[in-house]
């Protein structure tokens, strides 16, 4: 009896020492779980994707309603003359693939998708083609947009991976359109500026309030920003003659005058064989990369140096790439290149 009493006392002493420790451990576990359930993930504590440029809205993208979209786009195939009904998603995937390398950042590709979407709807609203097409493209030559068959050929063994990535990016902005006063904006785009974009009236003769000159100085670091084209006097003479001009073969150094330039530095006007012409005219006539050019004649050769690539109006694709690499989101990029527009959809 005495031994049983002593054993009971020992057991009570052991339990008395263990219960506080168990209670402590239980409480600690409960508190740890509660803290974990309320803790903000480290990634969400970082700034939101993207950033801002001077003069751009730093808030979330606008989500104003837009009811003027279309599920099918009417695109004329330049190689056949046929007007094709292209589903919106297919067109946007093909347009981005035709315009930007898939190695570029996601935000640049998304900006290109929205710009292509808005532009085709703007063309629809201003279309005058007798066949009803909104715009024309040549998928076989990889111009405008690429069909799925062309993408298979173009990407080869990378098709599956590229398609999964690009289609996901397009899907994330599929319903979004850049608008001005409630209508799709004419969101034109091109490859590389000379450091500033060009106002639309200097290229196409009509002014749009969101197609104005803006800074794009990141383009100065673009691949092939400056290119010099060498043409013989005979080649230039033939090209000008094809445009109805009559160059004096005895005085090629007098064929071109010093140009006047726009505020962005592109050639506005110059004298070509005694006739005043636009910089855009000479760009087309000689196949120049840009209307920011200088011409030097020496020993029977013309040396024409260009800065940038494309018409210069709207979204600089290289600029979009550079801004995306700096951390800007697609909506901030679009707001910079198309000031005064609203992202809808």
Render pLDDT for 76-108 as a digit per residue (tens, 0 to 9).
999 899 999 999 999 999 999 999 999 999 999
CB 334 within 8 A of CB 343: yes
- What pLDDT does residue 322 have? 98
How far lies 154's CA from each of 30, 149, 164, in Å?
57, 9, 15
Question: pLDDT at position 17, please?
Answer: 43
- At 12-30, the pLDDT tens digits run 444 444 444 444 343 333 3
Q: Is the pLDDT of residue 263 over 70?
A: yes
Please give the structure tokens belonging to residue 313: 């109006």
Residue 60: pLDDT above 60? no
* Residue 6 pLDDT exceeds 60: no
Find, among 204, 203, 187, the residue nearest to 266 by Cα.
203
State the average pLDDT over residues 135-163: 93
Residue 271 has pLDDT above 50, yes or no: yes
Sign of the dihedral defined by the CA atoms of residues 80, 109, 189, 124, in that order: positive
Q: What is the pLDDT of residue 63?
A: 58
pLDDT at residue 74, as a whole number: 96
How far apart CA 127 and CA 187 sit, in angstroms, is: 15
For 207, how many CA atoms within 13 A lie in the half-sphere containing its CB? 3
The Cα 137–Cα 77 span in angstroms is 5
Partners of 204 in the β-ladder:
none
> Which DSSP symbol is given to 339?
T
pLDDT of 187 reads 98
Q: What is the pLDDT of residue 143?
A: 87
pLDDT at 142 (0 to 100):
83
- DSSP calls for 202-229: HHHS---TTS---B-GGGGGSTTSEEEE
Q: Pick from 188, 303, 145: which is nearest to 198 by CA?
A: 188
Structure tokens at 67: 């009811």
Contact 290, 225 (CB under 8 A): no
Asked whether 138 and 79 are in contact (CB, 8 A), the reply is yes
Q: Which long-range contacts (CB under 8 A, 24 or more apart) does 166-169 make?
A: 166/93, 166/96, 166/97, 166/102, 166/109, 167/89, 167/93, 169/96, 169/106, 169/109, 169/110, 169/113
Whether residue 33 is predicted with pLDDT greater than 70 in this model: the reply is: no
| pTM score over 0.85 | no
CA dist 174 and 135 (Å) reads 20
Helices (H), 180-297: 201-204, 233-241, 279-286
d(CA 43, CA 122): 38
């Amino acid at each position: 009896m005495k031994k049983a009493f002593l054993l009971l006392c020992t057991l009570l002493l052991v339990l008395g020492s263990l219960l506080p420790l168990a209670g402590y451990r239980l409480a600690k576990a409960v508190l740890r779980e509660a803290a974990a359930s309320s803790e903000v993930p480290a990634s969400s504590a970082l700034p939101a994707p993207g950033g801002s440029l001077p003069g751009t809205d730093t808030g979330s993208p606008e989500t104003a309603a837009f009811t003027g979209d279309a599920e099918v786009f009417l695109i004329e195939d330049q190689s056949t003359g046929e007007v094709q009904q292209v589903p919106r998603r297919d067109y946007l995937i093909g347009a981005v693939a035709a315009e930007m390398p898939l190695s570029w950042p996601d935000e640049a590709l998304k900006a290109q998708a929205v710009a292509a979407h808005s532009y085709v709807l703007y063309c629809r609203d201003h279309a005058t083609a007798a066949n009803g097409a909104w715009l024309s493209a040549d998928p076989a030559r990889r111009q405008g947009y690429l069909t799925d068959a062309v993408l298979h050929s173009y990407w080869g063994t990378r098709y599956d991976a590229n398609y999964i990535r690009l289609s996901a990016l397009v899907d994330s902005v599929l319903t979004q359109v850049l608008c001005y006063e409630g209508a799709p904006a004419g969101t034109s785009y091109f490859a590389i500026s000379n450091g500033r974009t060009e106002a639309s009236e200097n290229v196409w003769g009509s002014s749009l309030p969101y197609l104005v000159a803006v800074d794009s100085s990141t383009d100065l670091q673009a691949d092939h920003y400056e290119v010099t084209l060498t043409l013989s006097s005979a080649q230039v003479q033939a090209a000008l003659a094809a445009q109805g001009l009559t160059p004096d073969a005895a005085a090629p150094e007098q064929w071109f005058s010093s140009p006047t330039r726009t505020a962005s530095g592109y050639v506005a006007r110059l004298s070509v064989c005694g006739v005043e012409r636009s910089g855009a005219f000479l760009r087309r006539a000689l196949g120049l990369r840009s209307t920011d050019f200088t011409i030097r004649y020496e020993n029977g050769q013309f040396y024409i140096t260009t800065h940038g690539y494309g018409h210069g109006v709207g979204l600089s694709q290289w600029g979009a790439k550079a801004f995306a690499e700096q951390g800007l989101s697609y909506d901030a990029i679009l707001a910079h290149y198309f000031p005064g527009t609203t992202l809808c959809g």
